[in-house]
Amino acid sequence: MASSGMQLLGFFLSLVGLAATVAAALMVEWKKQFQGKTHRIYEGLWMGCSGNERTTCELHQSLLKLPTEVQVTRAVIMFSILLSAVALLVSTVGMKCTHFMDSKPESKSFTAMIGGILFIVAGLLTIIITSWYVSMIVQTFKASHRLESFEFGKAVFVSWAGGLLTMAGGAFLSCRRCSSSGSTESISGNHLLSSSLPKSNYV
């Protein structure tokens, strides 16, 4: 029961992390710039917005005209989301609360562990690329005039949170392998002990 609860907790954390990563990828506030007191400019991975009280948003028309950090971050984030989606399917097959592969408990446990590892890799990719994106923005901010440069926005914090939650959930799912093997050994030990007891009664 405890190991199944850890599995569900890991799956839930990974699911929340995946949702946060998707939300961050769609957010506009990856970069922000304030011109004067009212005019605001935001740039995301897919669109940019500008305006005063009301902002108007436009999709990025050309991929080649985008800054390098936007192109690379967009590609890695999308790959991380795809990897998390695959991990979601794999871990669902290997979880105890599902009825897939019930006749093969060892393979089922191994499948859950593979799903957890995929979640860890996806979360790690999200954290690394977000940190690299922030470092690029900070370098540009220091090198240029501060009133004309961009700062990183709220989306990077959502992306960091998504990566951390995905990794934490994947760690719980991966640890299921240890608890499963321990329970298997205890069951086999009890079985051997019970089988030896009747023999001693006949002596």
Chain segment 25-63, per-residue pLDDT in tens:
999 888 887 766 667 888 888 888 887 777 787 887 777
Number of other residues whose CB lies within 10 A of the CB of residue 177: 18
Given strand 39-43, what is the order of strands in its sheet?
55-59, 47-51, 39-43, 31-35, 151-152
Pairwise CA distance, residues 5 & 54, whole Å: 47
Structural element, H or E, at residue 125: helix 105-143
Q: What 3-state class would DSSP assign to 43?
A: strand
Residue 49 burial (C-beta neighbours within 10 Å; 0-12, 13-18, 19+): middle
The residue behind tokens 């290997």 is: 94
Chain segment 150-193, per-residue pLDDT in tens:
777 889 999 999 999 999 999 888 874 444 544 444 444 444 34
Confidence of residue 22 (pLDDT cuts 50, 70, 90): very high
Across the strands, what pairs with 82?
A: none
> Which tokens hold the place of 194?
């019970």
Higher pLDDT, 80 or 69: 80
The residue behind tokens 């985008």 is: 66
Write down the pLDDT at residue 78.
95
> Which tokens hold the place of 44?
């995301």
Write down the pLDDT at residue 202.
41
Nearest to 169 by CA among 137, 122, 130: 122
CA atoms within 13 A on the CB side of 96: 16
Chain segment 87-139, per-residue pLDDT in tens:
999 888 867 666 666 666 667 777 878 888 999 999 999 999 999 999 888 88
Pairwise CA distance, residues 66 & 198, whole Å: 77
Class of domain 2-27+64-195 (CATH, top level): mainly alpha
Using the predicted structure, report yes or no on whether residue 83 has a pLDDT greater than 60: yes
The pTM assigned to this predicted structure is: 0.77
> Which tokens hold the place of 103?
């006749």
